[in-house]
Structure 1
Amino acid sequence: MNKKGVLLVNLGSPESPEPKDVKTYLGEFLMDERVIDVPYWARALLVKGIVLNTRPKASAKAYKKIWWDEGSPLIVLSERLQEKLQQEVEFPVALAMRYGSMTIKKGLQELADQGVDEVFLIPLYPQFAMATTETIVVLAEEVRKAHFPQMNIQELPAFYNEPEYIEVLANSIAKHLEGKDYEQLLFSYHGVPERHIRKSDITKSHCQIDGLCCKTPSPAHEFCYRHQCFEVTRLVGEKLKLKEGSFSTSFQSRLGFDPWLRPYTDRTIERMGKEGVKKMAIVTPAFVSDCLETLEEIAMEGEEIFHEMGGKDFTTIPCLNDDRAWVKLLAKWINEWSSTETITA
C-alpha cells in the first residue's frame, strides 16, 4: 500500500524584514523565469542590475509595517492553516514555500521521511497563473525527479469556480461586511503582465484581453488567469446577490513598464474617491493568506489613497487564512483525492 501525504505550497517570504533578507528573497523571486518571463540576460540586467539595487530598502520598510512578533504574516497564517488541516485529515500535511528557506524540497523530504510516496500537491492559489501555480507544479516535478524518483505527485487544479469554494469565499465576505455600510465592493487581484495571459492561451488565438474573450466560452479559460479572476467576481456577486454597479474587479502590484492587467487597483480606488464614493470595501481573492500585498499595499496604501481622494470609510476584508470553513473544504478535497485519486474541482 502506498502511503499518502499532502504538501501545501504558498508563495514565501523573506527571513526577516531587514534589507539584506528582503534582497535575497526578491532576487530568488524575480529571477524566476515564470515571474519575469524574458531572456535570462534581460532578466538578470533588470533584477540584478536595477531592482536589487533600488527596491530592497523600500520593500523592507513595507515589510516592517506588517511584520508580526511571530514572524512573516504569510508564513504564520500558512502554518496555522497547516496545523488546523492536520487535525482534520489522517495523512501527513507538510508546508512549503516556492521562494525562501521553506523549500519544496524540504517539504517533500518531510513527507518522504514519514514514508509518503503519494503526494497531493496543493498550490494555495484559487486561479491558475504562470507566476503562481505553474511555477510551483514545474519545480515540484523537477525536485521529484532529482531527489524522490519513487514518489508520485498529483496537484489540485485551479478551484476558482468550484461551487463550494465560492460559497466559502462569499460567506467570509458576508461575515466581515455584516453590519457595515458600503457603496462599492472592489475585488482586487494580483496583477500579471498581459503577455502572461497570451502565453497561457492553449488555443494560441482566443485571448485578446478585450471586453469579450473572457466572457466567450473557450478551452483557453482553463489556464486564463484574467478570465478566472473575473469569474470569481461574477460568481461571488451572484452568490451574495450584489446589485449591478455595486462591485467591480481590479488588479494590483504591477512592476516595470510593460502593460499589465487593467484596471489597476490604485487608480480604481483613486477614481472611486474622486467620483464621490465615501464608503468602500475591498477583498483580495487571488490570495488565501494575508501578506504584504494585502496588509500593506491594500489595507495601508489603498486606504491612504482613498482618504486623500475624499473617501471616508475603507473596509478591508481578510483572506480566508485559517477560516474553519476553508479548512473543512480543503480537508474534503484531500479526502476525495485519497479515496478516488481524482479531484472534481
Structure 2
Amino acid sequence: MADAVRQSERLVMPWGSFYAPISRPSPGAQSTVKSTLIAMNANERTPLLKKGQSYGGTSLAAAAAFSDGYVSESAADSSYGSDNDNSSVKGDYAGHEHAGMGKHRRDCCSYLQIMTFVLILAGGCVIATYLLIAESRIPALQFSLDLVHRDIWSNVSVPLADFLNFSNVINIVIMQTGGSGCEKLDKCLQILQGLQKQYQKQLGMAQEVPFNFLIGGDRQTYEARGWNYESGLNWVAQNATLVIAFIGNYTTLAPNALQLRSTLSLIAESVRQKKLQRQYKIYGLQNLTNSEVDGKALFGAISQWTQFKGLIQVL
C-alpha cells in the first residue's frame, strides 16, 4: 500500500496546469486534501491574458472552478480569434469606412458650394451685361428724332440763302416764336404756314422763315432752312449758327419734357451728321421788344444743359 501511495505521488500533472501535484492517500486515510494555487505570470504561456483579467469572456476565477482544478490549454486558445476579436476587426473596418464616407460627403459639399458660387457669379455677369446693353440703348429711345421735312408744309422749294460751311457751325441759338402753340400735327402745320405768310409779306414770296428748325408741342421737329442753309436771322452769326425756335410762347410755362428731348435729339443728330461741331455752345435769344421776360421759362429749362453759355438779348 505504501508503494502505491509513493507511486501516486509521482503522478505528473498535465503540462501548463495552474496547480501543483496533489498527494492522494489511500482510500482509508481520513486526512484532509488541500490544493495549492500557484500564481503564474500571464505572459509565460498566454501573452493575450493579463493578470486578473479575462480574454474572450473567460476569467482566472472561472478557470479555478473547473473540475480537478485543471484549465486546459485549449481554454485559453479557444478565446483567441473569437467573435470578440472579429468584432474588433469589423469595428475598425466600419470606423475606416465611416471616415471615408464622411470625407466623401465633405468633398461633395465643397464641390456643391463651389458650383453654386460659380453659377451665382455667372448669373451676375449675365445680368450686368444685360443692364449695360439696356442702358446703352436708352439714349436712342429717349432722343429719337421725328423730323418733318420742309416740302410737307412749306411753299418754298429752295431757300434764298447762303450755304452753311459745316466746319464753322459751332453755335446753337434757341428762341421762341411767340403767339399760339400747338400739340397736334395739323395745328402745328397751320401755325407754320401762317408764320411763313407774314414773313413773305415783308421780304417776298421766295423767302423762308428765319429758322433752321422749329419744335412743336406735338414733339415733332419741323425743318425750315435745315442744315444746309443759313438761318436768315440778323441778330446772330449766320455762317456759324443753327437757329432752333419753339412754336408758341414759353415765358411763363416751360416746354414739356418731350419737346426738350426732341431738341437734344436734333442737336445730337446734327453732330452725328457732322453738321455741327462737337464743341458746340448753346445760347438763348431773348427779344426785349416783346417783353423784358421774353421766353423766361424756356431759358430757365435749357440753362440746365451743360453746353448752355447764356442769353443774347436783342431789341
TM-score w.r.t. length of structure 1: 0.24
Q: Which has the higher contact order (CA 8 A, sep 6+)?
A: 1
